[in-house]
Every structure is written in structure tokens, then in C-alpha cells.
Amino acid sequence: MPKKIICFGEMLWDIFPKESIAGGAPMNVALHLAHLGLDVGMISSVGDDKLGKKLLAFVKKYGLTDDLIQVSSEYPTGTVIVDDSDKENIRYEIVKPAAWDHIQWTPNMEKAVKHADAFIFGSLGARNDTSRTCLEKLLNTNVLKVLDINLRPPFYSADLLDNLLGKADILKINEEELTLLADFYDLPSKMEAALEKLSEMFDFELVCITLGSKGAAIYQDGDIVSHPGYPVEVKDTVGAGDAFLAGFVSKYLSRESPEKILDFACALGALVATLSGGTPQYSLEDVSRIKDI
């Protein structure tokens, strides 16, 4: 039986000047996991509108069930307005209100999380009190909790971070986010020492940090394992980090070694960076091909 994973949080449309692309980190992760053959559920909410119907149709094409995705008659489907006129400084406006800010807890939702092998969540999906209350209830379940912290100023606070970090078993973070957490928690300047202190503070099973073109690393039980990443000709970095996390979780649940986990996750993230869009189609053979480039 494939492993069961539940993702929680935002699903939305990124509105570019010339096109709209389905997105939201938790949804991207869910779709990549489904593409890898895992049994995935997505807890979110869309509006009872044209964009919501299009988004539900989009995820169904990936084989993702919508039984945990709520449809709101009060709030619209989430959107992010993207200004990419300056390619070196792309600006995002995460529009409010949005349906994913108002996810309502249900018994079925909690039952799904209880029976999952892993529960993936982030900080942005808790920016509103309604969704945050729902998330906090789900975090009280006995399941492996993976925090893809996904810090988006100004949508987080010390109180929120304390709560989410305190409930997580695994933390996935990038270099910029580690720097932000260093200010909150007075972490050492050296990466390994910072990860060690974070792990001690919050009793993580492990911390995974992505390092952009420099690959990624896993800190666990006083040891750090790193991978240099796979150099590729980048076409679009959107969704590459989400693909990395999906690859990481799939191999972690298969009890692979940290070295093999990072190798697969880095290859999958690199592959997605060579393709257009956050959730492109690919095969496992394509992932292997990246390693041979």
C-alpha cells in the first residue's frame, strides 16, 4: 500500500500579467507526491466561483481527491498578484480575503490526519485565525508532522512560529528562512551550529535545509549530511522547492538513508527547475536522467 500523506494550507492562482498558474506551496507538494504514486489528501478551501472550479478540475487531473477541499460561498478562491516586470525583484501580493484563510475543522479532516503516515503544513496557511485554529487542532493528532515553514513577511509572528515549530517532528527550511529564524531565536551564525540549536530547542527528528544551487543538507542527531545538488539549465524555479520536499518525504517514509533521500530530492527539484510551471509532468526516468547530465 502506498504511504498516505495529508497536506494543509493554501491553494490558489498566481496571476501573472500574461497568464494565471495554479499554485500554493502545500498544493504543489501534494501534486508532486501524487505524481510520485503516494496516496495524498489536500486540506484547503476554494471559493464557489469560476477560479475555484478551475482549481478543483486542475488538481483532479493529477489524481488528487477533493474530499477534504472545502468550497466557500462567502470567500473567493485565493489569488496572488505577481509583478515580474523586474526579473531580479519579483513582487507578490497575497490577496485577502481568500477561501484558504477560512478552512473549517471537520471530524472527517481529523480522521484523515490520524490515519496518515505524514502531515505537511506551513506558516502561511495559518495567517488567519480560522485556518490557524483548524491547523492547531489537527496538530494535536499523533502523526509525523512535517513543517515546510515557508515564511512570507508579514504573515508570521514569534507566537505563531513558537507554536508551529514546537509541534513539528521534521523542519524543512531554506537559507533565507534560517537567517530569519536566527533573529527570532539568537541562533549561531554557522549553519551547522544554528541547525543544532534549533533541533535542541524544538526536539526535531531532523532538519532539512535547501541551499539553492548549492544543494541541500540534513541535520540529524548531531550529524550533518549534505548534497551538492545537480547543476541544470534553469527554465523556471517555481515549484522546484516543493518538488524537493515531495521527493524528500517520499524517500523518508521509505526509510532510505539521508544520502539517498537528498540525492533523490535534489534530482527531482533540479528536474522541475528545467521545466515550466510549478507542477509539470515528468517520469522517474526523467529524474534518473538528471543524475546523468
Record the cell numbers describing residue 225, joined without a space: 549530511
In 3D space, the residue among 137, 198, 128, 196 whose CA is nearest the CA of residue 160 turns out to be: 128
In 3D space, the residue among 20, 242, 209 whose CA is nearest the CA of residue 120 turns out to be: 242
Going by their DSSP bridges, the two strands 118-121 and 145-148 should be labelled as: parallel
Give the per-residue pLDDT at 172.
98
Which residue ranges of the chain lie beneath pLDDT 70?
86-90, 292-293
Record the cell numbers describing residue 12, joined without a space: 490558489
Give the per-residue pLDDT at 289.
86
H/E stretch holding 33 reads helix 25-35
Q: How far apart, in whole angstroms, are the C-alpha atoms of residue 35 and residue 15?
A: 24
- Is the C-alpha dihedral spanning 219, 220, 225, 229 positive or negative? negative
Give the per-residue pLDDT at 102.
98
Give the per-residue pLDDT at 276.
81
Give the per-residue pLDDT at 212.
87
Q: What is the pTM of this model?
A: 0.95
Q: How many CA atoms lie within 13 A of 228 on its CB side?
A: 4
